Structure 1
């Protein structure tokens, strides 16, 4: 596939911001019927964003058509420029906003490689907002050797970690290594060994690192290196935000029912805001944000 002119239309939306210059951009193909894996990967590579979403209708109808919109259910696959990922939160939010513009606010159901992801689109003032509900999350320990290798790849001294937020691998649709910086300055200074970190992440089946700094009990600043996807850093990462919500709750860092605010992308010049909701009666994590189309 030599050119996007030979592919279905590719929309470009940003997620977790209502400013096209903020948040995390995603490519969206509303009807990927008939596209082969290698074609979707080629489209994602040519678009060049951290991920692109490809929709088909589970019933076999064309995604985005009037018939399948009645059910508001879609199969969704996500590709970075280098690989397919099981789940992508920002592309989910961007896709839901794009659908909301076409078929109106309401409930959607996305069938992903990670599982079923319900999404609700609402209108707040003049903006659309999408809220995804993650699959069942979990966290696990990271070995001392793997932690040491991650810190070496980042060039972070162990003393720069916040001891109140211990390292863990967290999952809410994809696997992320959570590391907490002791200072905002440590988080802002991100210059890592791309190949070394990529190798470790492939070995541990990680999609991103979730690097965090706690600004207040419910407010965090985050960054997400994404070398396995072929990009240095993801500007706003919904899947990692969901995983982090599970991490914070499982370690007792926040109440079982709370709302967290994550600021991401500021150090890249693409600020975005991710809202993470935890509920006492549901272990799944809800991540929400605005989105908007990126002008051609």
Structure 2
């Protein structure tokens, strides 16, 4: 297999889930990754320095691809924002349409469309599921986050939600508590590693269908993710399963504003379907553009 020392693959850089053309979450995309082994992919992802880089291999048909996702530390089963970035990159090269992606989390379809705002992409998640947190999980998370039980919004029970990866879901009563997030990185990293959580999806409900979110991502070596499509999908399934939104419903998640990278994720909860759709835009990052 080929290592970066042998050849340097072209890495495209996109900001996914931008909000009115601003912010978004940077992702790397390698469209021809067939010659790279796992060690090489981790090395490339580390050099890129974003929370995830997608490595794409062409399938037997034009619209079929195998995609694997690597953080600067390790492989993750699924990454929503890197999927949106990948789909937009492919659409810009071969035209809009439906893409069929094979991922470690399962098959993912992504519909791309060319609009006045550029290319938008809508991913359909794997079937979602959710469960209540155990008392020890919740207590450990609150200690690491430096929060108290009274900070939590009782309308939104603490859960672990899944849409390819597991995400801790915690809702707070006050927007100010979310804005002031200052957590114990080492403690949360250890807790998340122990329980296999990919991010902590921390939210405040402005309304039943409009949420502000912050997503610590210590397992990827990242203090905070400015837009997390997999967590948004898992959250949509959580809202559906707990009867917190009607079905069908459209939910907007605003993320990244507190870290200066405003992002917008549109989540569609479907009728009669355990899957969730997440829509966003993505824009190329210029060579002198922002990093993670």
Decide: shared fold, TM above 0.5. yes
Map 1:169-188 → 2, pairs under 5 A: 169-188=160-179
Alignment RMSD = 1.6
CA distance in 2, matches of 1:126, 1:24: 17
Match of 1:16 in 2: 17
CA distance in 2, matches of 1:282, 1:165: 22
> How big is the shift at 1:5?
9.1
CA distance in 2, matches of 1:88, 1:176: 12
Match of 1:150 in 2: 141
Contact in 2 for aligned 1:18/1:127 (Cα 8 Å): no
CA distance in 1, matches of 2:119, 2:179: 30
> How big is the shift at 1:6?
3.4
> How big is the shift at 1:194?
0.9
Match of 2:49 in 1: 48
Map 1:111-150 → 2, pairs under 5 A: 111-150=102-141
Structure-2-length-normalised TM-score: 0.95
2:66 paired with 1:75? yes
Poorly superposed stretches of 4+, deviation over 3 Å: 1-6, 18-21
Question: Unaligned regions of 5+ residues in structure 2, if any?
Answer: 288-292
CA distance in 1, matches of 2:19, 2:174: 29
Q: Decide whether aligned partners of structure 1 residues 234 and 205 sit closer, same or farther in structure 2, where only a CA change above 3 A counts.
A: same
Match of 1:84 in 2: 75
Match of 1:25 in 2: 26
Q: Give the paired residue count.
A: 286
> How big is the shift at 1:191?
1.0
Q: Decide whether aligned partners of structure 1 residues 58 and 219 sit closer, same or farther in structure 2, where only a CA change above 3 A counts.
A: same
Map 1:1-296 → 2, pairs under 5 A: 6-17=7-18, 22-59=23-60, 68=61, 71-296=62-287
Match of 1:64 in 2: none
CA distance in 2, matches of 1:169, 1:124: 35
> How big is the shift at 1:281?
2.3
Contact in 1 for aligned 2:19/2:262 (Cα 8 Å): no
Q: Decide whether aligned partners of structure 1 residues 4 and 47 sit closer, same or farther in structure 2, where only a CA change above 3 A counts.
A: farther
Contact in 2 for aligned 1:94/1:291 (Cα 8 Å): yes
CA distance in 1, matches of 2:103, 2:273: 20
Query: Residue deviations 1:77-116, cap 9 Å, x none?
Result: 0001111100000000011011111011100011000000
> How big is the shift at 1:276?
0.1
SS at match of 1:239: helix
> How big is the shift at 1:218?
0.7
> How big is the shift at 1:157?
1.1
CA distance in 1, matches of 2:133, 2:259: 28
Match of 2:290 in 1: none
Query: Residue deviations 1:135-183, cap 9 Å, x none?
Result: 0110012110110000000001111000110100000111000000111
SS at match of 1:105: coil
SS at match of 1:129: strand
Structure-1-length-normalised TM-score: 0.94
